[in-house]
Structure 1
Amino acid sequence: MAEASPENDAWLQGLVDRSPVLADAVLRAHWRRLIPWLSSATRYELAAILLDIEHACAP
C-alpha cells in the first residue's frame, strides 16, 4: 500500500484518479503527468483541494 502522503506519486495519482472534479479522462491524464514535476508545496495544495472535495461529495 502506498504511503498516504502528497509526497508519494502513486498516492497522489490515486487521489487524482478518484476525484469527482476530474471526471474527464483527458484532464485526469494531464494531472497524472504533471505530478512528478510539482513542488512539494503544490502537491500538498492539490491534495488538500481534492480531499476537501472528496469529503464534501461523500454520502
Structure 2
Amino acid sequence: MAEASPENDAWLQGLVDRSPVLADAVLRAHWRRLIPWVSSAARYELAAILLDIEHACAP
C-alpha cells in the first residue's frame, strides 16, 4: 500500500487515475508523466484540488 501523501508518486498517480475531473485517458497519462517533476508545493495543491473534487462527487 502506497503511503497516503502527495510526496509519494504512486499515491498521487492513483489519485490522478481515479479523478472524475481527468476523465480523458490522454489527459490522465499527461499528468501521470508530469508527477515526478512537480514541486512539493504543487503536489500538495494538486492533491488538495483532486481530493476536494473526489469528495464533492462522492454519492
TM-score range, shorter chain: over 0.9
Deviations 1:2-57 (A, max 9, x none): 00000000000000000000000000000000000000000000000000000000
Aligned length: 59
RMSD between aligned alpha carbons? 0.1
Q: Provide structure 2 residue ranges, at least 5 long, that are not aligned to the other structure.
A: none
TM-score using structure 1 length:
1.00
> Within 1, Cα distance between the matches of 2:33 and 2:2?
18
TM-score using structure 2 length:
1.00
